[in-house]
Structures are given as structure tokens and as C-alpha cells.
């Protein structure tokens, strides 16, 4: 049965299928510019047997891997930067990870459709584990950055495949509930990551920051091998499948993203923002991204990796923009709040990880509220408005933190942005998928994952540039000691933002360094207000689309009797 299509900005009831009492469906009628029209998919029973829950558990192991590495580096990065002598190149350790994470996700979606979810999932976890080994065994900056690139590719693939598998197994309206389960798992990794990272660099070598992923990766591979057995196209020859990959689109996307990343990495630390070495790659990269979307909408590509029909209505476009912003803000907070604790309050790396626990722990109730509300009422617009309002107030409130801020103050200030981010992030993908046909759910999940990861790059680069600009300015104005002053200039502020660095100077220089960092970090969060405020305004322009309760997919669980799904 082919999916019914309606205008994405109107609501229309759908037939009751598979024992549901009532269901409201609204697939998007999109003007397609693609040469190949999507094939209708078969109805699939929403069965939650032991295999279903085993797959959910397998996805949770992938989520632990992804979230743990995203945050374990947060509190340990200044130490790693110092011991390997990375200097201003520290940002490559994070940005190369985010770059690789971003660019592989649309391709992951296409490969999962051609070669099956299981094979792709196993491949990306193996890739991630390999990258962890390379980074842990790094003998210098180049090898560390290379390992992080491999890690990032695996992480991006995992992020995409998790959303795709959930889309295969769960009807749209109920997906937020299972994404909330993954969000809870993610929160556990996010919560223990900073503490683990800080403890590792204090008690043993920083290399275990990466080696810790090896046993976790092994467990994830075992569970995926045993339980992730879903249907896929076994008939088409591999050669014919390879011909369907959007090589030109993927190449242009990678090249453009790399160009943007180079500009963001060098800006403010190596060259000023006005330098041609920054403006040229930035302009070329952004122009390349525009060209990528033109290419995807042209007749030159028969099966685009990111079909333009995904963005053919205003709600989808707004969700895409807001996903970018909330992802950027997540890393804005996670990478620069620990910096405040270490450089201003003089916390150890381990304790700074404990100090940001409220961010992750409080986000769980926010995610639960969003998931329950979306599943019960199928409405997401109000959740987004409230969530971004909380984020706007929350990130701005961090700007008032000082050396003398009490524990109660910095704990309470983490509540609003945590709840806001929790309410928003897990409800954006179902809202994005509501405006497209069910056949495009996998492509929508992969595209959404791409923009989320692309936002992470800017979430480190932009506040990093702000920190460098204001640290240099305040160091000139406040710090008398020439050695201390130069350490906060020339793009080295982040690597100097450690307790050990600050306490290595006697008073009054120590107090001057703390004051310079206090003011610079305040600017980082104060300027950050503009982004959630923009999303708050954009959320009012969203249109409600009722979420489908009918699941139509060709990638459901394999039949119990045979591997190819035929009895």
C-alpha cells in the first residue's frame, strides 16, 4: 500500500491500521525535482517482541559509545593539548571529529538503503573503535588528529544509523519515546564522560581517554551482530548498487565542509577574521554548500544523497535551521562551561566534570516531558517555543558567573538550558519527518543528523573565536606579567584555561588571569544569546503536521523463520 500524500501544512485523518484505535496521518505532497520517484513501501506491523527490545538495547550501546567520547574529551582536552604541544591547533582535535561526523551521515543513509542497516551499523562501530585505538596510541599531534578523524567518521555513521533504525521499527508519532530512551542513554554517557575524562588525566595517562572505547566498542559489535537483523535488498547486484551512490553530491559536500572547517579553525587563532586566508576558504565552502543543494535538485543526479523534496515546505526548513542552532548551543555549553570551572573557579578536571553534571541530569526530565507530550498529543510547535525560550534565558544567565559564584548559583543556572535543550532536541526529528513521505524517513534522518553534527563544528569554533578575541583584549588590559599575558594571546587562551596554569603564577598575576578569563567567558555566553533567540522567533512560524501512527517500511524485522523475511 502506498502512503497517502497531503499538504504538509494541513491535517488529515488516516485509516486505522494494525489494531490502532485511531490514527492521524499527514504525509507531505512535495514538488519533486528528482529523476527517480520514491517507491511505495509495504505496511509493517509495529511489534515489540524480544527482538525489537534487543535491537533497542544494541542501539543504546552505540549511543553510549558516541556520547561518552563526545564528553570525555571535554575535561581532558586542555591536558592533552598541553602534553602533546598542540597550542592553537587544539581545535583540530575537536573540529576534525565533528567534520568527519557531519560529512559521512548523508552517505550513511544512502549506504544503509543499498546494503542494509546491519552491515552499515557493524562497519561504523568498527571504524569508530579503530579510530579510538589510533588516537590513544598517538605519538604526536598529526596521529592524534588522524585518529580523531576516523573516530568521527564512525561516530557520524552511528548517529545516522540509530535514527534510521528507529524510523524502520517505530511509527512516527511514537518515535520520540524511543528517542527519549536513546537520549537517556546519551545523558548517562554525557554525565559520566567529563568525570571519567578528568579522572583519567589526573590518575593515569590521557591515552585511556580513547582506549576506554575499545571494550565498549567490542560489546556494541557483539550485540549488533546478534540482534540487528532487519530486511534489506539481497537481490540487486553490488555493482548496480554502487552505481546508485551519489558520488558527485557526496564529494562536493565533503569538500565544501572541509573548506568551511579550515576557515573556522584558523579564524582568530592563526589569522584574523578579516584575513584572506580565512575569507577565501569560508566563502568557497559556503558557496560549495549552496552548489551542493543546486546539484541535488538537478536532473544530473538520479538518486541524490539529500533530496530537495525533504525541504520543500517551510516547517521542514525551520526545523533544519533550529536543529543546527540547538546542536551548536549544546557544544557551546559543554566545551566552555568546564573552562569556566577550571580557569575561574580553579577546579580540577575531574571536579569540573562533576560540576557540569546538572546539565546532563536535568536534561533527562526535559527530554521525557517532550517525548511524552509528543506521543500523547502529537504536537511539537509549543514544545519548541518553550524549549528555545528556556535556552535563550539559560545560556545568557551563564554570563553572570564569577570567581565568587556559589555552588547553588551555578547549579541553578544549569536548569533552564538543560530542560530547554531536552525538550527540543528529541522532538525535532519527528517534526522534520512529519513533512516528508514515509519512504523518505531514512534520508530525512540522515540529513537531519548531518545538520546536527555540522552545528557541532560551529558550536566549538564560534565560542572559541570569541574566547580568543576577548582573552587577548583583557590580557592586554589586565595582566602585567608578560609571560602570563602572552599565554592568553595568539589563540592560546583555551590551552591555558587550566587550574595548573593559573596557580603556577603568584598573586597578583593569578588574580589578573582569573579576571581576564572571567570576562572573556562571560562574553562567550552573552553573545550566545542571539542564536536561541533566533530559533525562538522561527518556532512561531512552524505549522503543526499531525504525526503518522502507521508504519510503512521495507526494512522491518526479518521473519523469524527465514533470513529473507519469506515464510
Q: How far from 30 is each of 36, 185, 189, 303, CA to CA, in Å?
A: 14, 35, 38, 16
Q: To the nearest whole number, what is the mean pLDDT of the chain?
A: 78
State whether 349 and 220 are in the same domain.
yes
Residues 6+ apart with CB under 8 A from 119: none
Q: Output 59 or 184, whichever has higher pLDDT.
A: 59
pLDDT tens readout for residues 319-375: 989 999 998 998 898 888 988 999 999 988 778 878 888 887 777 777 777 777 777
Q: How far from 443 is each of 372, 403, 436, 516, CA to CA, in Å?
A: 25, 47, 10, 46
Q: Please report which confidence band the pLDDT of residue 243 belongs to, taking 50, 70 and 90 as the band edges.
A: confident
What is the helix (H) or strand (E) element at residue 328, kind and residue range? helix 314-343
Please check whether residue 297 lies inside any domain of the structure: yes
Most confident of the following: 172-186, 390-404, 448-462: 390-404
State whether 71 and 138 are in the same domain.
yes
State whether 252 and 227 are in the same domain.
no
State whether 187 and 319 are in the same domain.
yes
- Over residues 267-271, the mean pLDDT reads 70
Share of the chain above pLDDT 90, in %: 17
State whether 222 and 256 are in the same domain.
no
State whether 452 and 411 are in the same domain.
yes
State whether 268 and 391 are in the same domain.
no
Tell me how far the alpha carbon of residue 125 is from its chain's centroid.
17
State whether 216 and 268 are in the same domain.
no
pLDDT at position 528 is 93
Please check whether residue 271 lies inside any domain of the structure: yes
Residue 3 has pLDDT above 50, yes or no: no
Please check whether residue 464 lies inside any domain of the structure: yes
User: Range of 261's domain?
Assistant: 247-302
Count, residues in the chain: 567
pLDDT at position 12 is 35
Q: Worst-scoring range by mean pLDDT, 72-81, 332-341, 499-508?
A: 72-81
Q: Output 124 or 558, whichever has higher pLDDT.
A: 124
Provide the domain count of the chain: 2
Cα separation, 492 vs 485, in Å, equals 10
Residue 505 has pLDDT above 80, yes or no: yes
Q: Worst-scoring range by mean pLDDT, 23-37, 111-125, 518-532?
A: 23-37
Q: Output 518 or 378, whichever has higher pLDDT.
A: 518
pLDDT at position 397 is 93
Please check whether residue 353 lies inside any domain of the structure: yes
Q: Please report which confidence band the pLDDT of residue 534 belongs to, taking 50, 70 and 90 as the band edges.
A: very high
- Over residues 255-275, the mean pLDDT reads 79
Cα separation, 52 vs 30, in Å, equals 32
State whether 337 and 262 are in the same domain.
no
Q: Please report which confidence band the pLDDT of residue 530 belongs to, taking 50, 70 and 90 as the band edges.
A: very high
Q: Output 99 or 3, whichever has higher pLDDT.
A: 99
State whether 184 and 79 are in the same domain.
yes
What is the C-alpha R_g of the chain?
Answer: 23
**Residues 112 and 442: beta-carbon distance below 8 Å:** yes
Q: Output 395 or 300, whichever has higher pLDDT.
A: 395
Amino acid at each position: 500500500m502506498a502512503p497517502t500524500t497531503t499538504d504538509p501544512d494541513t491535517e488529515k485523518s488516516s485509516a486505522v491500521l494494525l489494531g490502532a484505535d485511531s490514527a492521524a496521518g499527514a504525509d507531505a505532497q512535495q514538488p519533486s525535482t528528482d529523476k527517480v520517484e520514491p517507491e511505495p513501501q509495504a505496511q509493517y506491523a509495529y511489534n515489540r517482541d524480544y527482538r525489537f527490545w534487543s535491537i533497542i538495547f544494541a542501539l543504546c550501546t552505540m549511543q553510549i559509545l558516541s556520547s561518552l567520547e563526545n564528553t570525555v574529551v571535554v575535561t581532558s582536552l586542555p591536558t592533552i593539548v598541553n602534553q602533546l604541544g598542540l597550542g592553537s591547533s587544539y581545535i583540530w582535535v575537536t573540529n576534525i571529529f565533528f567534520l568527519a561526523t557531519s560529512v559521512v551521515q548523508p552517505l550513511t543513509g544512502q549506504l544503509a538503503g543499498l546494503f542494509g542497516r546491519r552491515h552499515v551499523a557493524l562497519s561504523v562501530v568498527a571504524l569508530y573503535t579503530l579510530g579510538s585505538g589510533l588516537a590513544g596510541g598517538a605519538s604526536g599531534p598529526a596521529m592524534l588528529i588522524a585518529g580523531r578523524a576516523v573516530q568521527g567518521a564512525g561516530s557520524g555513521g552511528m548517529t545516522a544509523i540509530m535514527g534510521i533504525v528507529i524510523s524502520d521499527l517505530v511509527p512516527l508519532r511514537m518515535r520520540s519515546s524511543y528517542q527519549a530512551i536513546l537520549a537517556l542513554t546519551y545523558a548517562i554517557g554525557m554525565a559520566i564522560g567529563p568525570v571519567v575524562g578528568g579522572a583519567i588525566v589526573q590518575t593515569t595517562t590521557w591515552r585511556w581517554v580513547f582506549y576506554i572505547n575499545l571494550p565498549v566498542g567490542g560489546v556494541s559489535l557483539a550485540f549488533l551482530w546478534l540482534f540487528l537483523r532487519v530486511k534489506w535488498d539481497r537481490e540487486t547486484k553490488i555493482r548496480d548498487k554502487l552505481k546508485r551512490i551519489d558520488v558527485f553530491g557526496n564529494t562536493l559536500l565533503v569538500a565544501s565542509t572541509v573548506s568551511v572547517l579550515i576557515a573556522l579553525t584558523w579564524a582568530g587563532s592563526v589569522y584574523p577574521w578579516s584575513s584572506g586566508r580565512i575569507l577565501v576558504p569560508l566563502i568557497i565552502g559556503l558557496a560549495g554548500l549552496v552548489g551542493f543543494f543546486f546539484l541535488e535538485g538537478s536532473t544530473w543526479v538520479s538518486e541524490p544523497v539529500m533530496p530537495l523534496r525533504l525541504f520543500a515546505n517551510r516547517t521542514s526548513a525551520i526545523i533544519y535551521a533550529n536543529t543546527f542552532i540547538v546542536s551548536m548551543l549544546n557544544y557551546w555549553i559543554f566545551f566552555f562551561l568546564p573552562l569556566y570551572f577550571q580557569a575561574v573557579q580553579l577546579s580540577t578536571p575531574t571536579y569540573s566534570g562533576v560540576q557540569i553534571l546538572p546539565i546532563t541530569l536535568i536534561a533527562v526530565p526535559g527530554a521525557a516531558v517532550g517525548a511524552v507530550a509528543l506521543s500523547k498529543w502529537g504536537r511539537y510547535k509549543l514544545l519548541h517555543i518553550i524549549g528555545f525560550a528556556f535556552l535563550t534565558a539559560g545560556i545568557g544567565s551563564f554570563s553572570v558567573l564569577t570567581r565568587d559564584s556559589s555552588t547553588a548559583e551555578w547549579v541553578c543556572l544549569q536548569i533552564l538550558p538543560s530542560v530547554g535543550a531536552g525538550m527540543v532536541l528529541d522532538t525535532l526529528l519527528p517534526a522534520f519527518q512529519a513533512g516528508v513521505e514515509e519512504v523518505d524517513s531514512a534520508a530525512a534522518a540522515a540529513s537531519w543528523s548531518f545538520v546536527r553534527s555540522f552545528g557541532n563544528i560551529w558550536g566549538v569554533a564560534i565560542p572559541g573565536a570569541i574566547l580568543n578575541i576577548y582573552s587577548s583584549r583583557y590580557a592586554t588590559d589586565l595582566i602585567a606579567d608578560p609571560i602570563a599575558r602572552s599565554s592568553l594571546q595568539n589563540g592560546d587562551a583555551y590551552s591555558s584555561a587550566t587550574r595548573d596554569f593559573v596557580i603556577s603564577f603568584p598573586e597578583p598575576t593569578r588574580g589578573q588571569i582569573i579576571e581576564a578569563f572571567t570576562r572573556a567567558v562571560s562574553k562567550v555566553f552573552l553573545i550566545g544569546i542571539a542564536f536561541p533567540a533566533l530559533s525562538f522567533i522561527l518556532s512561531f512560524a512552524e505549522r503543526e503536521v499531525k504525526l503518522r501512527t502507521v508504519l510503512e517500511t521495507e526494512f522491518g524485522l526479518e521473519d523469524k523463520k527465514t533470513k529473507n523475511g519469506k515464510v
